[in-house]
Amino acid sequence: MRLVLICLLILVLLALAGYLFVRFPGLFPWTQQQTLPPLKPDSQPVPQTTPDTKARTEERTYEIRLSCPDALPTEDVVLVSDLEKTWKIRIDSALPTPPDGYFPTPQSVKGIWKEQSGKLDQVNDRSAEWTPPDKEGICTVELEQTVLYTPLKSESLLNRRLPNLLFRGKGSIRFLVPVHVSEIVDGKVNGFNVGKYPNIYDEKDLSEAAAPGRIRSHPETYLPPILWYRIDETTKDLVIAWNYRLGEFDLDPQYRPSPYPHYIALDPNILRKLNDLKTRMNADGILFDKFDILYGFRSPGYNLSEFEKDGDTSLKSEFSLHMYGKAADILVDVNRDLVMDDLNGDGKADIQDARFILRYVDELDRRYLLDSSPLVGGAGLYPHHDFWERGDVAQSPYIHVDVRGFVDEHGKLIRWVGKNTLKQHQQSQ
C-alpha cells in the first residue's frame, strides 16, 4: 500500500513537471538548446515555377546593335535623305543567352527607347520608328533593355542555389539630319556660299548647256537639291556608307580654303553606285577598299565661277551633276601616290587604266537600264584632272561617274572622253 502511494505521488509530480515544462518553458533554461534548435533558412528546397522574388539576382551587361534597314549601311551615322520619312530602327543583335541551368527563354524582356530629338514611336520591344526633327545636326536614339532569366526547377531540387540573372543592355544609333533648302537665303546658309543654280526653265541658262535638250527632257535631275549636309570638324570624318566619309565628298579644304561649316548635297544613289562598282571589280580580283574621290560635290558658287574664270581649260560645265550631289570623279589608288594604279598591268598609269574601270561602269549601267534603276548614268574618261588650284599635286587619269538617271535620246549610254587638259594647260603657260 505504501509503495502504491509513492508511485502515485511520483506520477503526479511528473505530470505537474510536464505541465510546467509545456506551459512555462522558461523555467527549464538548460533544456532550451536541445529542444528548440535554430532552423537554417535554406534547409528546405523551394521548387520554383515563377521568378523567385526572394532569390538573389545577379546583374550582367550586354551590348545591343541597332540598325536602320532603309538607310545606307554604316556602323557610324545614318545619312537622313528624307525629312518627311519615318525611319525604322530595329535590333540586329540577339538577346543575351544565359549559362546552363536556366530556362532558355527569358521570364521578361523590357525595353525603353529614348530620343535626343525628333519623334520616336516604340513599335515593340524589338523595333521603333523615328521621324527627324526640323533642326539639322546629329541625333541619337537609344535603347535600354532588361532581360530576366530564372534558374530551372531541377537546379533548385538539386540544391544548387542559382541566382536570377538580370541582363542590362544598351545600344544607340546616330542620324545625321540635313538642313532644308529653305534655310538657304540669297545663296548662303550659315555663312557658306552655295551660289545660284542655273534655271532649267530659262532659255538663256539652258543655252550654256552642252545638251540643252536632255535637260529639258529630264528637269527632275536638275532641280536644286532639297537637302544639305553640314560639314565641319565634327561631321567631316563620319562614315556615311560602307567606308566613305562625309568629308570625302566636299572640296578639299587644303586647296580650297574656306572656313567651316561647308554644306554639300549628296544623292545616296552615287554611294550605292560606287559600292556596286567596287563590289563588281573586287569579284574579278581587283582588290581595293574604296575609290578615291577627286571631286564629289561642287557648289554652283564654286563650279560656275571656275567655269567662267577659265572656261577653256576648266572641265567644269554649266549643268555639272557635281552641283547636284549626283557625280563623283574617281580613281583606284591603293599605293597612295595620288595617281591611278596600273589596273590593266601594262606597267603604265594612264587613261587606259581609267578605261579599264569604264568597262565595269558600262556593264553596271546596262544592268541598271534593264532594271529601270535611277542609278544609270553618264561616264567620262579623263587623262588628267584640272586641279590647277591644287598647285603641284600629281596629276592622274580618272573617271567621272554619275547617277543622272537617263540615257541619250537614242537609248544609248552617255559617254565622253575629256580634253587632255594637262597639255592645254602647259601650252597656255
In the DSSP assignment, the letter for residue 97 is -
Strands (E), 251-397: 262-264, 292-295, 327-331, 379-382
Between CA 208 and CA 316 the distance in angstroms is 12
In the DSSP assignment, the letter for residue 396 is -
Among 248, 306, 329, 341, the residue binding Ca ion under the rule CB under 5 A is 341
With CB under 5 A as the contact rule, which of the stretches 102-110, 169-177, 206-214, 330-338 interacts with Ca ion? Answer: 330-338
Tell the smallest beta-carbon distance from residue 396 to Ca ion (Å): 8
Tell the smallest beta-carbon distance from residue 425 to Ca ion (Å): 21
CB closer to Ca ion, 78 vs 339: 339
Cβ partners under 8 Å of residue 124, min gap 6: none
CB closer to Ca ion, 166 vs 422: 422
CB closer to Ca ion, 252 vs 310: 252
Tell the smallest beta-carbon distance from residue 286 to Ca ion (Å): 12
Among 339, 351, 358, 361, the residue binding Ca ion under the rule CB under 5 A is 339
Between CA 62 and CA 273 the distance in angstroms is 36
394 contributes a contact to Ca ion by CB under 5 A: no
335 contributes a contact to Ca ion by CB under 5 A: yes
Tell the smallest beta-carbon distance from residue 244 to Ca ion (Å): 19
97 contributes a contact to Ca ion by CB under 5 A: no
Q: Which of residues 241-280 bind Ca ion (CB under 5 A)?
A: none
Tell the smallest beta-carbon distance from residue 355 to Ca ion (Å): 9
Cβ partners under 8 Å of residue 294, min gap 6: 329, 330, 331, 385, 387, 396, 398
346 contributes a contact to Ca ion by CB under 5 A: yes
CB closer to Ca ion, 229 vs 398: 398
Between CA 163 and CA 259 the distance in angstroms is 59
In the DSSP assignment, the letter for residue 220 is G
337 contributes a contact to Ca ion by CB under 5 A: yes
Contact by Cβ (8 Å): 300, 194: yes
Contact by Cβ (8 Å): 139, 177: yes
Contact by Cβ (8 Å): 303, 358: no
Tell the smallest beta-carbon distance from residue 310 to Ca ion (Å): 27
Q: What single string gives the DSSP state of each residue in 116-156?
A: SSSEEEEEETTEEEEE--SS-EEEEEEEEEEEEE-B-HHHH
Among 353, 365, 386, 402, the residue binding Ca ion under the rule CB under 5 A is 353
292 contributes a contact to Ca ion by CB under 5 A: no
First to last CA, the chain: 152
Pick from 323, 315, 286, 303: nearest CA to 399: 315
CB closer to Ca ion, 114 vs 348: 348
With CB under 5 A as the contact rule, which of the stretches 190-198, 226-234, 307-315, 352-360 interacts with Ca ion? Answer: 352-360
With CB under 5 A as the contact rule, which of the stretches 197-205, 327-335, 398-406, 409-417 interacts with Ca ion? Answer: 327-335
Tell the smallest beta-carbon distance from residue 281 to Ca ion (Å): 15
Among 107, 208, 344, 388, the residue binding Ca ion under the rule CB under 5 A is 344
With CB under 5 A as the contact rule, which of the stretches 231-239, 342-350, 372-380, 381-389 interacts with Ca ion? Answer: 342-350
Contact by Cβ (8 Å): 366, 413: yes
333 contributes a contact to Ca ion by CB under 5 A: yes
- Return the SS3 of 291: coil
Residues that bind Ca ion (CB under 5 A): 333, 335, 337, 339, 341-342, 344, 346, 348, 353
